[in-house]
Homo-oligomer: A and B are copies of this chain.
Amino acid sequence: MDYVSIRKHYEELKSRKLSLDISRGKPGPDQLDLSNPMLSVSLQEGYCSVSGADCRNYGGIDGIPEMRGIFADILGLAASDIIIGGNSSLNLMFDRISGFCLHGVNRGEPWFKQGAVKFICPVPGYDRHFGICEYFNIEMMPIEMTDTGPDMDAVETLVQSDCLIKGMWCVPVYSNPTGCVYSDETIRRIARLKPKAPDFRLFWDNAYPVHNFGEARPVIPNILKECSLNGNADMPLIFASFSKISFPGSAVSAVAASENNKKGILEQLNHQTVGPDKINQLRHVRFFKNADGVYTHMEKLSRIIKPKFDVVLSALDELNGLSAWSKPKGGYFIHFRSADGNAKRIVELCRGAGLTITGAGAVYPYSYDPRDRDLRIAPTYARIHELKDAMDIFCAAVKLSYIEKMESIKSST
């Protein structure tokens, strides 16, 4: 590897004036096409739920039973645990935090009155989770994400020590961006947590439970049950969504929780909305029919997604020894770890050659990666040939960043 040839290759790529984007976890049009029949599901002859409710009209604040049933089966819960939301689970999370800040958790002391509230944030993590915390002035405490989930020694120590620590973000399956699946032991340790704050809530964003690539779906312990067995029934709030199953902009979301928590959520919802879109729920139910229908659909999706991950992963092979990256078995992202101090420069070099990747630091609270090394690759939106070009640029950028650093070390000594 020498500076001149690497620089030359990078300049060649640059001269192609490409415009590529692997920055967001956005399904590709080929994925969306698989759900197209849902666009023409006619409900004209049957717009009623199994409950008999006319889905066109007002009512049904918690969603229609058959949609709750599908979520329940996917999540390994009971339909009665589930409240259906609108088209975005992000909204459900945002609204919980907004409600807790102003009204407290289940009529407890509002968070904003308690002082500088904090959340535990396993890193690298999901930028939109961090964005919500930042918006609500919730201080974020980063802890390390391991291959088996959050560093539980750190989590246990923190939650026991500070009653202002009110929450923790978790993406238990195919975590964003590392792709790890929390181990059973990690999940059981989470369920056994003894938070100092009685109003501590686990924000369990189970965004990818059925998003495996071909192999068996991961089966994780039921967090609601595990928490309940440990006297923590009210601790978890479980979020899920069809965003990456049907249409991202027009999906159905859900939150699952204990009776106490559901009561609190419904109290808020009864003031906030006339209820979620039941016609869209019905459309999903008619198209997917049941959980098995979802699994079959996900198999088809994985046949589109996995080859894209394979392109990225095999391209990265030429960086062996230079960097490390995750090899996820599902989900939407690959986590790439460069040498310390190189991430920003890699992003810059990529941009220079026409490739947009997720900003350096984005996987950290406040966009601050203290070692400037962690990046996220989102392979789904680009087409295969674009992805190959994108990875050419990415790999050239990584190599160039290393060489530049070595050159600068040499010249300064």
**Chain A residues packing against B (C-beta within 8 Å):** 24, 26-27, 29, 32, 35-37, 39-40, 42-44, 47, 54-60, 86-88, 90-91, 94-95, 98, 101-103, 112, 128, 131-132, 135-136, 243, 247-250, 268, 271-280
Known contacts A40-B43, A88-B275, then 12 further A-B pairs from the complex at CB < 8 Å, ordered by chain A residue = A35-B56, A39-B279, A40-B40, A40-B42, A58-B249, A86-B277, A87-B274, A90-B272, A98-B102, A103-B135, A128-B271, A277-B280
* Number of copies of this kind of chain in the complex: 2
Is A56 in contact with B274, judged by CB distance below 8 angstroms? no
Is A47 in contact with B57, judged by CB distance below 8 angstroms? no
Is B94 in contact with A247, judged by CB distance below 8 angstroms? no
Which B residues touch A57, using CB under 8 A?
26-27, 29, 32, 247-249
A44 to B40, alpha carbons, bound, how many Å? 6
A47 to B35, alpha carbons, bound, how many Å? 12
Which B residues touch A94, using CB under 8 A?
271-273
Partner of A273, one of B37, B56, B91, B268: B91
Q: How far is the CB of A96 from chain B (nearest CB, A)?
A: 11
Q: How far is the CB of A84 from chain B (nearest CB, A)?
A: 12
Report, nearest first, the 8 A-B pairs whose CB atoms are least far apart: A40-B42, A250-B279, A56-B247, A39-B43, A94-B272, A135-B271, A58-B248, A88-B274
Partner of A90, one of B55, B249, B273: B273
A163 to B270, alpha carbons, bound, how many Å? 30
Q: How far is the CB of A73 from chain B (nearest CB, A)?
A: 24
8 contacts between A and B (CB under 8 A): A39-B47, A86-B87, A87-B276, A91-B274, A94-B272, A103-B135, A249-B275, A250-B279
Is B90 in contact with A274, judged by CB distance below 8 angstroms? yes
Which B residues touch A250, using CB under 8 A?
55-56, 277-280
Closest to A35 in B: B56
Is B58 in contact with A131, judged by CB distance below 8 angstroms? no
Which B residues touch A273, using CB under 8 A?
87-88, 90-91, 94
Is B44 in contact with A32, judged by CB distance below 8 angstroms? no
Q: How far is the CB of A379 from chain B (nearest CB, A)?
A: 16
Q: How far is the CB of A280 from chain B (nearest CB, A)?
A: 7
Is B112 in contact with A249, judged by CB distance below 8 angstroms? no
Is A272 in contact with B91, judged by CB distance below 8 angstroms? yes
A40 to B40, alpha carbons, bound, how many Å? 6
Q: How far is the CB of A126 from chain B (nearest CB, A)?
A: 13
A39 to B39, alpha carbons, bound, how many Å? 10
A86 to B249, alpha carbons, bound, how many Å? 11
Quick one: given A27-B57, A54-B29, A57-B26, are A87 and B39 in contact (CB under 8 Å)? no
Q: How far is the CB of A85 from chain B (nearest CB, A)?
A: 10
Partner of A54, one of B32, B112, B279: B32
Is A279 in contact with B247, judged by CB distance below 8 angstroms? yes
Which B residues touch A112, using CB under 8 A?
102, 112
Which B residues touch A132, using CB under 8 A?
271
